[in-house]
Structure 1
Amino acid sequence: MDLIVKEIETRVGKKEIIKNISVQVTKQQFVGLIGPNGCGKSTFLKSIYKSLIPHKGTVFLGDLDVLKSSPKKVSRRLGVVGQFNEMNFDLTVYQMVLLGRTPHKKMLESDKQEDFAIVEEALARTNLLDYKDRSFLSLSGGEKQRVILARAIAQQPKFMILDEPTNHLDIRYQIEILSCVKNLHIGVLAALHDLEMAANYCDYLYAIKDGEVYAHGTPEEVLTPTTIEALYQIKCQTYINPVTKRLGFAIQM
């Protein structure tokens, strides 16, 4: 399912954070947003899934007008995984993931065998079957993030938004989460802070600076020394690893 976002502008208070940004994700692409802290990546994503309401622009997911549709209708097609998932009350891992079935339920409708099967599959995809009876609050940060991903998978979305989901995780959990999402074979728009992860997992990138699109293209086209210096004020060299054939970075001190 394609995501077409056109000319989004978003204010927080009186300050304009997002300035006329347009992006698109087609043909089950994994598309990344990169840029320094405070550049507007998270605000832009929140504007797409309506955690913040933009004051201008349009968002279409297939034929669905996201900004004019009910949250429940949007949630049947769109899954969201953020970077902060703290809770003041506790559920088991299984109960947390089962919440992903809520958008598909009528009011007071009970869970069915189909829902339980979908939850089991989501737990299996995220390697959480052995954790299903554990307390969510007892888990590590990486484990919690896998639970949130499993909950999003249980929604059976046609598209997924990731808002820096690996921001505070070690390399193992970063790879587990991004690989799992990549293997869903659905469209993905992800804000990522790790440039090597962005280069390895993304088909296309949008570089954001001061609330605007600074550059866009394939990782090889965007992740150049000139663009990286403009975004992050650091000098580096890029290279192709001869073993992995992947893009790498060497910071110049």
Structure 2
Amino acid sequence: MKVINCTVESTEAQTSIVHKVTLLPEFPLEFLAGQYLQVVMGENDKRPFSIASAPSEPHKIELHIGADPANGYAFEVLTKCKDEGKLVIEAPAGKAFLRNSTMPAIIVAGGTGYSYAKAILLDCIENQPDRELKLYWGAKTIGDLYEFKALEAMSRSYPNFTFIPVVEHANDDWHGHIGWVHKAVLKDITDLSGKQVYTAGRFEMSATIRDEFCALGLSKADLFGDAYAFI
């Protein structure tokens, strides 16, 4: 990993909690879609965030920070962005990056785990356009799916890409999946052999995905997520 000084170009609220942060690194950052960086808050305090932007745009780094004041771990990073306008990062890190393959790919993201998914989605469309790709993004409400309209538009523009939103709490006019995001995948797909799965979210979700998806034919060698380095 390299130590890189970054200027904060912008912070934009996406929801009442989630903010999109754009960083300008002092030199282009080379990374693979699905990798993450660490924000250096202190010598022994380095906080990981997925890189949401595509590797083809190395001059700008996009982060999605879920900064609930109750979650000081992320909130302090957002506060530093706003107050100081600069960050020191270490990057790139992570082995759960997009593989070059002809296998159909499924991305399963919970909440701001979408930042991991977004980089993979953008890179796959750009460099593997003929590959079948499905994104399942789950959140508590439709309002928490802060790039819903952009993803719907993308799915209309790219026939090999399908966006499947999942919410825990739905309005009366909602006709999509309701409940946990990984359960929506299992409702739609009963045979996961010959597929690759990329996932980001709570560790509990990642552990359940490993157990339940592999029981339906998914090879552990084709399951990717940063959580699997720890669980």
The TM tier, using the shorter chain, reads: 0.3 to 0.5
Report the structure number with the largest CA radius of gyration.
1
TM (norm. structure 2) is: 0.34
Q: Say which structure is richer in strand.
A: 2
TM (norm. structure 1) is: 0.32
Q: Say which structure is richer in helix.
A: 1
Larger RCO (alpha carbons 8 Å, 6+ apart): 1
